[in-house]
Amino acid sequence: MPALNKITCIEDFRRLARRRVPRMFYDYMDSGSWTETTYRANENDLQALQFRQRVAVDIASRSLRAQLLGEDAAMPVALAPTGLTGMQHADGEILAARAAERFGVPFTLSTMSICSIEDVAAHTSRPFWFQLYVMRDRDFIGRLIDRARAARCSALMVTLDLQVMGQRNKDIKNGLSTPPRPTLGNLLNLATKPGWCRQMMGTRRRSFGNIIGHAQGVADMRSLASWTRDQFDPTLNWNDLAWIKERWGGKIIVKGIMDAQDARLAVDAGADALIVSNHGGRQLDGAPSSIAALPAIAQAVGERIEVLMDGGIRSGQDVLRALALGAHGVLIGRAFLYALAAAGEAGVRRGLELIANELDVSMAFCGRTRIQDVDRSILVNPDAVTTR
């Protein structure tokens, strides 16, 4: 376990994670599709936005507290749904959910998680959000929605941008599988990760807990591989959201919005919130960064629906930039995964503390004392990366 008081930024966790996690799982976490242009743009475009520093403002009393989908949050940040989280650290989804609960921000469980919905619910007391991939097998999807409701999940997040899979070259080259296949290359790499191996030997959770044993014909990892290849549904459209909304009966978030017209359609479909997201640069390479797409979407629908954003958030300053350009809140994926991979539950908690401190101090330097008062006037160049 690293000395957490010596870790001062998310980048410190990233470097530790790279040393501790097998290559295929680290690359799955920290890569994009094709040339990774959009993956890099998510971070670079955020960094291009400069703050307008103010002085001689009374900033003695400050608050980051916010509401996300009507839930109180310690800051306007939620943990994003990330697949294979339990392969970055044993029981990773449970540990991350507990860290989020104790810090006071929402956690989102992915359909493609290692720990199941029931596992996470049994180890937490605060309702979490559940992210849904819509598969061809609608009977399975209906039962998955029912399981999320039975686990008291407080919102259903429907991902819309994975009707087909983007080409993720590193995953292909690494032969990504869960658990890793016993090839010579994998065995040699695993031999250099003894801590990770010990963790994984100590848990029974090593496969996709929401799917295996629940989807028809999927009883083990071999049958799961063929099932998954055929299940992502290219026919998914806005009409399907009506069925999902009726079956769920609660709050709906739609994820993967990168266009103002799609944002309007999300409002018309009855979504309670949307997430401006390019899937972390893992789907359509060459698409704009999330931060570049955010202002037009916020302007189009921000008064009618809660607009969230993910993609490239690595610090509290990045959170502040997104809020300035119209986001009600942000989701962090890789940032918490680095911390989880490096130091488990304590790492995620420390990562959230770092982000909160950076957000608080940066907000103060911009002359604001309440997170709700942040707007584009805190930026010197708010139009630096916006799309037209």
Residue 315: φ, ψ to 5°: -160, 170
Closest CA to 37 of 286, 386, 387, 289: 286
Question: What Cα–Cα distance (Å) separates residue 199 from each residue in 77, 184, 193, 205, 340?
Answer: 28, 21, 10, 11, 13
AA identity, residue 188: L
ω into 180 cis (within 30 of 0): no
How far is Cα 112 from Cα 133, in angstroms, rounded to an integer? 8
Determine the 3-state secondary structure of 79 from DSSP.
Answer: strand
First to last CA, the chain: 47
Computed on alpha carbons and rounded to an integer, the radius of gyration of the chain in Å comes to: 20
Determine the 3-state secondary structure of 315 from DSSP.
Answer: coil
Contacts of 167 (CB under 8 A, 6+ apart): 33, 34
In sequence order, what E strands does 38-197 have? 66-68, 71-73, 77-79, 108-109, 129-133, 155-159
How far is Cα 325 from Cα 49, in angstroms, rounded to an integer? 10
Per DSSP, 49 falls in state P
How far is Cα 322 from Cα 225, in angstroms, rounded to an integer? 37
CB atoms within 10 A of CB 351: 29
Token representation of residue 60? 């003695």
Helix (H) or strand (E) holding 186: helix 184-191
Q: Is 89 a catalytic residue?
A: no
- The active-site residue, picked from 89, 123, 214, 279, is 279
Pair 154, 273: CB distance under 8 Å: no
AA identity, residue 175: G
Question: What Cα–Cα distance (Å) separates residue 184 from each residue in 88, 180, 181, 191, 265?
Answer: 21, 11, 9, 11, 49
Task: Provide the annotated active-site residues.
Answer: 279
